[in-house]
Structure 1
Amino acid sequence: MAESLPSVRFSTHPQFSGFMKPCRFEGDTENLEVIGTIPPEIRGTFYRVMPDPQLPPFVDNDPWFNGDGSVSAFRIESGRVHFKQRYVRTEKFQRERKAKKALAGKYRNKYTDAVEFKVRTTANTNIVYFNGKLLACKEDAPPYAMDPDTLETLGLYDFEGQLPSLTFTAHPKLDPVTRELVCFGYEARGDGTPDICYFCVDATGKFTETVWLVSPVVAMIHDFAVTENYVLFPIIPQTCDLERMKAGGEHWQWNPDIPFYIGVLPRRSAKASDVKWFRAPNAFPGHTCNAFEADGKIMLDLPISDKNVFFWWPDAQGNAPDPREITSNMFRFEIDPKSTDLELPPARCLLREDIEFPRIDDRFMSHEYTRAFCSLNDGSAPTNWPVVAQRMGGGFPPYNTIGQLDLSTGELTKYFPGDMHLVQETVFIPRSHGTAEGNGWLLFLVNNYDTMLSEVHLVDTEDMSSPKAKILLPVRLRAGLHGNWVDAAELETFEPNVGALRI
């Protein structure tokens, strides 16, 4: 008798409902409908990735970002847009597709799985282009390499055997001058270990720096920042306990009783003893905006919340904030890397708005800058919340506006996409190679809760009052996490399919 398999039906939890209902779509659509005009000088591809479970999860009330990595590519050429969508063929994805049912258990807890995986990842957090390959990243494992043209999965990628860490950041930083890829992994020797491995890869793909560190706490380090001479590791007070995991508990638990640590390490020729762990009051650091050096000090800009943003992982007593009360404002920490006093002075607020997903003109990464772009929740904007709230489903806090902050003046310019729309993370496209900082376009996915379909909006940074173009998709894409713009000239430099390990 044939084995009886569970029906392919997702739960009615918010993270699987409304706009967040799994898409489970792979395919191609050429010549997407464009309302407006895309300037002909925009040539390249916008890549983004979303968690999208191919099958109902093994754990019923699974966090929304535990889904399989699904990569979108929007290729723009001569004012036209071609769309491609593919899943990352991870070990998890392929084994579950063969079994026709979910096999992986709780988020980052291998002790709750139905089977043992060699490499347990969904590759669903960021999609980065480096040396002719797309790297689908999630911070619990090495990345998966993909063909940037076809989105074929080439295999788990360990930089031709050079990767020393079991994990790899979801936010590697590409130096705009040296073209080095600056990276790290935390829990780098395995689940529950305090080890951090910092490493740097030169433009040819060769490892040039490797430093092993020990974190003051075993906790989440989702993003980090890079200056010309330092790397900085902001630690989120979501802590890991291996015994809790073995008992079937969560990988993460909020700890309100520890400081907000920021590790500072020299970027080159460093050793483990060179790291300094600066301390600030307990807080939840968001994605880093940028960092740079000025007058011997390090400036670190990032959103900060005084509450546990990942409220679905409460503290040991089960306490969690009301998600409607969680906000993050942009702050600047000023750090003296030579100081022996590790208590940081209070950070300065740069923007008193509820923001996340800050981005910059990437040509200014690690250098002094004046323009920051972000997703923000504008309480004064006329979003039709009574209807949108019923249709959005569960997920990341909703953002209804894209903002552009001039750090030299404090002026905030906003783009509002409409009363039935929410925005996702933006990317910046410079108008030309040598144009001034921030002079170009913003490109980002938009959720349309009227049509229940997705759109991509293109906005000129010099006039954010209305979009240059709206690109309409014939499908609905769930909330994604991160993406990047890759210029056509850069894509044409490399031959794909080189150096990946096939599985």
Structure 2
Amino acid sequence: MAGHFRSTHPRSAFPDLPQFSGFMKPCRFEGEVQNLEIRGEIPSEVDGTFYRVMPDPQLSPLIENDPWFNGDGNISAFRIKDGHCHFKQKYVRTEKFVKEREAKRALLGKYRNKFTDAVEFKVRSTANTNVLFFNGRLLACKEDSPPYSLDPETLETIGLEGFDGQLPCLTFTAHPKLDGDELLCFGYEAKGDGTPDVCYFTIDSTGKFTETVWLVAPIVAMIHDFAITKNWVLFPIIPQICDFERMKKGGEYCYTVNAYEDDSGNLVFDLPLTDKNTIAAKLLRFTFDPHSTDLDLPESQIIGSEDCEFPRIDERFSGKRHVHAFFDLMDPRLGTDFGTIAPRMGGGHPLYNALGHLDYKSMKIQKYFPGRTHLVQEPVFIPRKGADTAEGDGWVVALVNNYATMGSELHIVDTRDFEKSQAVIDLPVRLRAGLHGNWVDA
């Protein structure tokens, strides 16, 4: 079967499969472009850099039917200042990337399965899931290993980040949370593949580890994201279980909105969730007493019934009561030209045709529809300048795929007028589906 095909010699062409075709054909571009073309006007007070990462294989994969999210981490940086936008992109020089470039062929095997590799790796990371700024460095993260450090200006790889020998575990989440100046983190399978151990730790603004707590999960399963409140940390365990013996035989290996404590001390936890083996998810809210002895969660409340994912908030309110959320959603009623998109789309990645803005006070969702031949990637919020700026007052930035031109666009939307774009920035290169990114104020 295609999923078990393993090449015995170098293959220059990518497999003729959906995840390597159309818009999902690997980009493999490194370089920079100054003064990108802009339609509309970028607000002068928007001053900073939008970083994002995409899985982007530099070479045809060792396993022919490789999932799209197993590609090498390629970091994009959009520097915005004085109404102009400059673009830079560079691969993370992971151990995998360097060894494969030297060998001129793929060496890493199946996703999260070291037993299928062509050579032994000390660290299997592709550094392709998230990129964030902390303590003067960019951290390119993938949850099965420590992050890689990058120079935020040049995007040059500094090296594997061990936090001066303080990192207590073998893994590091792709979704750390900033709580003021402190970074809250965890690693699952923290003592190695197939281990049930979870390590939670905090890092202050100077890079010093301030707290480390070891836990044992009830099962060995994926814990992709987590949530924090003033007094609690929540780990949603995804029903994707690691079977170590199956991995040895060559087998295969949700994002949260936010959580907070209400006036009664209950935990309120919002996240997209599905009850089926499908990507389609509804936005749900769980409210529960953390001191209860009842092991069953109470029934969830449906906040949004439309298919949504990649939720973000105004990050200044992480762990606190939030009243705004932004996310990708799929609404077929908006008029998307699926006939044009489908033959050019490629496959394997999630499909969303609009950005949503949920106001929890009115419980209404505003929608930004970028165009009939467009699909959106993850939104990121940029707060308006000023210490007293209200929550959710600012802009949302998101990369958008244009299937009519087969090009990528960066859209900026004002949250005060959410249903139309403030500016559209055209890229001269096509960027395939990415995972996560963050805004870093200048």
TM category (shorter chain) comes to over 0.9
* 1:5 positional shift: 5.9
For 2:334, the equivalent position in structure 1 comes to 381
For 2:4, the equivalent position in structure 1 comes to none
- The counterpart of 2:58, out of the listed 54, 59, 80, is 54
Q: Does 1:440 align with 2:408?
A: no
In the superposition, relative to structure 1, how do residues 441 and 307 fare at CA in structure 2: closer, same or farther (>3 Å)? same
Matches within 5 A, 1:148-227: 148-175=152-179, 177=180, 179-227=181-229
For 2:415, the equivalent position in structure 1 comes to 461
- The counterpart of 2:42, out of the listed 35, 38, 45, is 38
For 2:250, the equivalent position in structure 1 comes to 248
CA distance in 2 between partners of 1:6 and 1:234 (Å): 40
Letter in 2 for 1:387: T
For 2:348, the equivalent position in structure 1 comes to 395
Q: CA RMSD in A?
A: 1.0
Q: Which runs of 5+ in 1 are unaligned?
A: 252-285, 310-325, 489-503
CA distance in 1 between partners of 2:269 and 2:190 (Å): 24
* 1:340 positional shift: 1.1
For 1:493, the equivalent position in structure 2 comes to none
* 1:50 positional shift: 0.2
CA distance in 1 between partners of 2:320 and 2:191 (Å): 32
* 1:466 positional shift: 1.5
Letter in 2 for 1:302: L
Q: Does 1:303 align with 2:307?
A: no
The TM-score with structure 2 as length reference comes to 0.97
Asked if the contact 1:5/1:100 (under 8 Å) is kept, the reply is no
* 1:205 positional shift: 1.1
Q: Does 1:69 align with 2:73?
A: yes
Letter in 1 for 2:272: P
Letter in 2 for 1:305: T
* 1:203 positional shift: 1.7
Letter in 2 for 1:113: D
Asked if the contact 2:33/2:87 (under 8 Å) is kept, the reply is yes
CA distance in 1 between partners of 2:13 and 2:129 (Å): 24
User: Could you give the per-residue CA deviations for residues 312-340 of structure 1, whole angstroms, max 9, x where no partner exists?
Assistant: xxxxxxxxxxxxxx420111111211111
- The counterpart of 1:138, out of the listed 142, 154, 176, is 142
The TM-score with structure 1 as length reference comes to 0.85
Q: Does 1:329 align with 2:259?
A: no
Q: Which runs of 5+ in 2 are unaligned?
A: 1-7
* 1:386 positional shift: 1.2
Letter in 2 for 1:288: T
CA distance in 1 between partners of 2:348 and 2:362 (Å): 34
User: Could you give the per-residue CA deviations for residues 375-429 of structure 1, whole angstroms, max 9, x where no partner exists?
Assistant: 0001211100011011110132200000000112111100000000000001001
For 1:450, the equivalent position in structure 2 comes to 404
CA distance in 2 between partners of 1:158 and 1:248 (Å): 30
Q: How many correspondences in the alignment?
A: 433
For 2:436, the equivalent position in structure 1 comes to 482
Asked if the contact 2:194/2:220 (under 8 Å) is kept, the reply is yes
CA distance in 2 between partners of 1:365 and 1:214 (Å): 25
Asked if the contact 2:10/2:106 (under 8 Å) is kept, the reply is no
For 1:341, the equivalent position in structure 2 comes to 294
Asked if the contact 1:105/1:112 (under 8 Å) is kept, the reply is yes
Q: Does 1:102 align with 2:55?
A: no
For 1:367, the equivalent position in structure 2 comes to 320
For 1:318, the equivalent position in structure 2 comes to none
CA distance in 1 between partners of 2:310 and 2:214 (Å): 28
CA distance in 2 between partners of 1:335 and 1:65 (Å): 34
Letter in 1 for 2:29: F
* 1:308 positional shift: 2.0
For 2:130, the equivalent position in structure 1 comes to 126
* 1:158 positional shift: 1.1
Runs (4+) off by over 4 Å = none
CA distance in 1 between partners of 2:119 and 2:238 (Å): 30
Asked if the contact 1:395/1:479 (under 8 Å) is kept, the reply is no
Q: Does 1:430 align with 2:383?
A: yes
